[in-house]
Each structure stands twice: as structure tokens, then as C-alpha cells.
Amino acid sequence: MSDFTIGRESTGRAVRSASDFYRAVWRWHFYAGLLVLPFMLSLAITGALYLFKDEIDNIVHSDLKRVEATTAAPSQSPSAMVAAALAAYPGTAIKFTDPADPQMSVEVTVNTPSQGKLAVYVDPYSGKVLGSLPDRGTIMWTVRYLHSLKYFGSFTRALIEITAGWAILLVGTGIYLWWPRKQSSGVLSIRGTPKKRVFWRDTHAVVGLFVGVFIVFLAVTGMPWSGVWGARVNEWANGNNFGYPAGVRVAVPMSDEHIDHVAKTTWSLEQAQVPQSPDHHHGGSPIGLDQAIATFDRLGLHHGYAVNIPVDAMGVYTGSVYPDDLSQQRVVHLDQYTGEPLIDMSYADYGPLGKALEWSVNVHMGQEFGLTNQLVLLAACMGIVVLVVSGGVMWWKRRPAGSLGVPPMPSDPRVFRGLIAILVVGGVIFPLVGVSLVLMLALDFIYVRTRKRASI
């Protein structure tokens, strides 16, 4: 055998090996897209809307949320506004939300016998009841529940983890497929017209290159809300200190209730328990809502804080606020009889992991850097929509009639080993992703066997 022949054989094997690995990556890029693109489309649209939650809510619900500000301070006391809300909607007042700015109404949450929990809006200057909505019934709460899939049951939180993991796989395999291989056109430019598949291929590749980093960031920062990974990391970040970061004084009686069940809270405090007013105070008189709010004001809580009103003798007044400025996040629990703070914690009390995750969540929600944060993530969400649409059109134009159009199997299945090893590592880090990977491998095996039998 001549040297020339040996060289050609070696080159041939290298070319086949590279081609086989490309096919393997392409196949799994296809599967990742098949699995998560519908979810990514939904997440991108609802996420883009939620970036402007305050702006949209204040427009849609302006008759309830906005009031005419005057130069004078609000003339109505908190207890008077609660009384007005209860007169219009009889029930039990369970929460009072302080206006974030002088042009906002007060929100009183009332638990009614016939309509459930209602958010009742009151003008703090005149004391007039402006109307009501179901608790968390604004359009942006609807969008938030659609974004988190909460409307479809708690089990869907697992889908967030699976979607996030496969989205990261989608980006990694997509970059490999995009990587220039001696070609210059279609790398950073878009060829052809919408009638041609190459136009959609280039659009998908170029947009994916720029949006990929945002997809990975949003996927990773969305993980804290996932069902398995998020809950385990939350426990790891906050230890067993009743759900509070280590170092926060919690040497007070604790109830079995969690803050997340009674008020909007941050990711770090989802598992934090609500304390109880000590037994030996129960012979005294409660301080009342006006004094509790005066105490929260004296303690310096950022305007817009919510106050959970105790409904039994063991309850506490809980003041909580989560503004865009992370340093102003705070939760304070007051003894309902003495007004003394039982637990007082802020963002500064979080551990390093908690601070890092809360910062990333704040960026994820478009809050950390103001309008710039909102506009950059809006562009990323629009890019994701373009990716989903271009991927779907590209697949439709490529697929053979009557076929799913799965990319071809490598001629040497051994090339899957390295790729699967990478997938296994991801599956160990994100357990639900690992389970879905095994399921997809099994389905792919069944699909290949079925196609072989059909061709015999």
C-alpha cells in the first residue's frame, strides 16, 4: 500500500469521524428543540410582558391603582381605610399594602365568605373605595402564572427545570453547528430570501449566536423556581435556620406557616417560617394596625411594603418589601402585643450564595439596572421568538413528506459516547434533566429500531 493511499485512508476516517459527530450533535439539537421550543416561545412572550409589569398594570388597572396626588399627606389612617374596605366588602382584613408612590392607591386584602380573597383599592386622600379585583387578579399576575406554568399545577415546576436544562443543551449544540468550517457566508450574515431555506437557516444561526448567551443566563437564573433543583439549592443556601439565612436571630416561637404562603416574597425566603407572638403577651391588648405601620415607618421600610395582619392570638404583623433596589429588601415580624421586632432581616443578611442568586433573579426580572435591563431582556425575548419561528420554518422546509425529519444517525454510533458523557454530567447537576435525557435516549432507540423494521 503506497504512502498516498495510507494518507487518503487516514483522511477519510477523520472526515467520516467529524461528519458523524456533526450528525450526532445535529440529532440532539433537533431533539432539544423539539422538546423545549414550544415552552421557550411561551416563556419569551410572557417574560417580555412581565418585564414591564408595573407599567402595564398601572395602565390596565389605572381606575383602581392610580389616584390624584395632592401636596398634602394622606388624610386617612390605615385602620380607617381598612374599615372602608370592609364596609364595602365584608370579611376579614388580612393584608395592607402601603402605596409605593403618592399617585398610588392603598391595597387592602380582604378574605370574604362568598368571593374568597379580594384586593380592595382605597384612595388614601379621600378614603373612597375605588373597587376590587380577586387577590393577585391583575393582568400581570395572570402573565406571571402563565410564565411559571403555575396555572397547570405544582408539578409543572419540574418542567421549568427540564426546559432550562435542555435550553442550555440547545445553545451548546447550536454553537457547534454554527461554528465556521471554511465557509464565510452565513456565519454573521443572512443569505437568500424568506422563500428559501438558507434564509431561515442563516437567520436561526446568526440570531442564535447573539441570543444564546441570554438563553443560558435566563435558563440558569430561572432554575431557582424549579421543583427539584430550586428547592434543594434553597435549603442548601439557607441551611436549617427555619428557612432564614444563617446569622439571623430566630430565637422566638415559630409557626408552621411560611412567608411565601401569606405574602409575596423573594426566592431566598420561600421556605422561611412565620414567627408567633409569645404566649405570655396574650393577656394584653394588640397594638393595632396604625401603631404597627408607624413602627414599620420608624424602622425605615421602603415605601410600597405590605403588612400581613394577624388573624389569631398567636399571629404577628409582618412587614415585607422587595423593591428593585436589592439593598432595600426587608422582612420584619412584629409582636402584635408589644410591637417589638421578633425577626428583622434584609438583603445584607443573606449569605454569599443567597446574595448571588437574588441578584441574578433581580436581573432575570428586569429590575436590577432599570430601563436598560428591561430593554436588553426585551430584545433577548424577541430574539428567542425569532429563533423558535425560524427553527420551525427551517424544519418544515427540510423535512421529507410524511416524515418527522429527524437528522440522520451517525454511521458509527460510537461517536455518541462523548456527547452522552457530557449529557450525563448535566443530568447529575440537574436531576430532572437527567431523567428526561434517559427517556429521550430510550425513545430515540425505539424510533431507530422501528424505522429499520419498516425498511425491511
62-137: CATH class: alpha beta
What confidence category does residue 315 fall into, taking pLDDT thresholds of 50, 70 and 90?
Answer: very high
The total of other beta-carbon atoms located within 10 Å of residue 200's CB is 23
**Residue 121's beta-bridge partner residues?**
107, 131
| Short-list 270, 254, 250, CA closest to 262 | 270
pLDDT of amino acid 443: 79
CA distances from residue 27 to 39, 197, 364, 441 in whole angstroms, order as listed: 20, 18, 30, 11
pLDDT digits (tens, 9 = 90+) for 63-122: 999 998 776 667 789 999 999 999 999 999 999 999 999 999 999 999 999 999 999 999
pLDDT of amino acid 5: 37
Mean of pLDDT values over 372-399: 91
pLDDT of amino acid 231: 72
**pLDDT at residue 416 above 70?**
no
What is the residue extent of each domain of the chain?
26-51+150-225+371-455, 62-137, 247-350
pLDDT of amino acid 267: 77
Place of cell 425569532: 386
Residue 195's contacts (CB-CB under 8 Å, 6 or more residues apart) are none
- Pick the more confident residue, 177 or 136: 136
**95-117: b or e for each residue (b if 16 or more CB lie within 10 Å)?**
bbbbbeebebbbbbbbbeeeeeb
